[in-house]
Amino acid sequence: MHVKMKMHPLYTDIPKPERFTYPFCYEPHPLCQLAAKEVQAYVGSHEEIREDADRGKMFGVLIVTPSTPLNPSAPYYFLAAYSGLLAGRNDWDYFVPPVFDAQQPDGYFKTKEREISCLSKESGDTKEMSQDLQLWLFHQYQLSNARGEENDLVAIWQSYYSREKLRRKFPLPPGGTGDCCAPKLLQYAYQQGLKPVCMAEFWWGQSTKEELRQHGNFYPACRGKCKPILTWMLQGLEVDPDPETFGFSRLEVKTVYEDQAIVVIDKPSGLLSVPGRMEQYSVETLMRERYPESHVAHRLDMWTSGLLIVAKSMEAYHALQQQFIKHQVKKRYLAMLEHSRVSGIPKKGTISLPLRPDPMNRPRQVVDDEHGKRAVTDYEFLSDDMVALEPQTGRTHQLRIHCAHPEGLGRPIKGDELYGMKANRLYLHAEQIWFHHPVTGEDMHFVAPLPF
């Protein structure tokens, strides 16, 4: 292994961070941004790599320091990696190798894979053999952590999901676990005695139907495949705390309308509608301090602002729920989209893209024509960057994906860090709502001024 070919010097006086990156929620450190630019220049200059990467590929950089200084003018080095294979290969000199190389033509995995394929054509009953081969492969992934400990992928996975209920739900890693950027980078650094400093991952190329990403944007490590193994691999490093455990600002809400049955409020961006897994403070908890029997009748994403109906009693809540079930409630959102060169999008139309959760990367949703649930949005451009959105259905992240997806508007909502680029807020606002009063049956219509 040519270690020096994998280590790339960074000639900079940028100070290093105090702690290592928490990989599931982070702002890329300037050192990582500098390294990412070099990787992007390399990919762009290498025709074979670029052609494959243009179809959509995640790359990662890890800033390291060697155990003994190699060059006084280069205090840091970076390692680079890609997820899966790149142009059908996993042995590019510029990038770190895989944790385990299963692509050797004469190796056990490929030989057994060919054998199973031949048997499948003859008998078709090879499911158990395929499962055994996959389990064998997982055991070959011998991973290290910063404490100098070593364990295989299956043991690490099952240790993470130690509770019996979770163990039954996640008995083994999904296919491809261990082949993402972050495990490759950390494993190589530990093997070579390099000290990890900070890390980041970015997307190159076009979005795919499964991976709704934006070219050049940084993204956190995937939780489904990487959370169990990175939690173990980072042991022994001083890591930034999870920002989601900090708690959120105690934002107030503006009352738009109130009577004996309901309250209509204007929710600020950054406030949960209902209590979450890590944070209890929300519109619902705030309202229950005033009205103990109150319930939020519907939800807005935390970073979406705008109109929200709160029922003061269970009777009013159930009456409102029936209106939502029967699609009798109409909502209109305004969204500011990222600047884009996308052309040919009609000024007005309807988007229909079915959605389902991405179990390997929650809370992200994906478009799935086969298993997704119906999701329909009417839209109308009010200006080059501002669009009015009227959802006919209420799927999670529906408006965000319908704007960002190449088969939708092809332009993420500004500030959408999941499907676009992070900003100071998500530029999505629930501007208007129409419904029937749950007690009197009166037609109700409210408007919340645009806050951006």
pLDDT score recorded for residue 74: 84
Helix ranges, 161-313 (H)? 164-169, 181-191, 223-233, 283-290
> 427 Cβ partners below 8 Å, 6+ apart?
335, 336, 413, 414, 415, 452
Cβ(409)–Cβ(345) under 8 Å? Answer: yes
Closest residue by Cα to residue 317 from 345, 342, 287? 287
* Residue at 235: amino acid letter: Q
- Using CA atoms, how far apart are residues 363 and 251, in angstroms rounded to an integer? 23
> 179 Cβ partners below 8 Å, 6+ apart?
83, 84, 98, 99
Quote the DSSP letter at residue 398: H
HSE, side-chain direction, 13 A CA sphere, residue 347? 3
- Strand runs labelled E in 277-354: 295-296, 305-311, 330-336, 348-352
Q: Check the CA dihedral 337-339-342-345 and report its sign.
A: positive
Cβ(15)–Cβ(166) under 8 Å? Answer: no
101 catalytic? Reply is: no
- Using CA atoms, how far apart are residues 101 and 124, in angstroms rounded to an integer? 28
pLDDT score recorded for residue 376: 97
DSSP reduced 3-state for 203: strand
What residues pair up with 251 in beta bridges, in sequence order?
A: none
pLDDT in tens, the chain (452 residues): 566 689 999 999 999 999 999 999 899 999 999 999 999 999 999 999 999 999 999 999 999 999 877 777 789 999 999 999 999 999 999 999 999 999 888 899 999 988 888 887 777 678 888 888 999 999 999 999 999 999 999 999 999 988 888 778 888 888 899 999 999 999 999 999 999 999 999 999 988 776 788 899 999 998 889 999 999 999 999 999 987 666 566 788 999 999 999 999 999 999 999 987 666 789 999 999 999 999 999 999 999 999 999 999 999 999 999 999 999 999 999 999 998 767 789 999 999 999 999 887 888 899 999 999 999 999 999 999 999 999 999 999 999 999 999 899 999 999 998 898 888 899 999 999 999 999 999 999 999 999 99
- Using CA atoms, how far apart are residues 253 and 268, in angstroms rounded to an integer? 7
Neighbours of 152 (CB within 10 A): 15
**Hey, what are 131's tokens?**
């499962």
- Using CA atoms, how far apart are residues 17 and 12, in angstroms rounded to an integer? 14
pLDDT score recorded for residue 277: 66
Catalytic one of 301, 358, 368, 443: 301
- Using CA atoms, how far apart are residues 393 and 325, in angstroms rounded to an integer? 10
CA 399 vs. chain centroid, Å, equals 16
Q: What is the pTM of this model?
A: 0.85
Rounded to the nearest 10°, the torsion over CA 410, 244, 216, 362 is -50
> 228 Cβ partners below 8 Å, 6+ apart?
156, 157, 160, 161, 173
- Using CA atoms, how far apart are residues 294 and 86, in angstroms rounded to an integer? 54
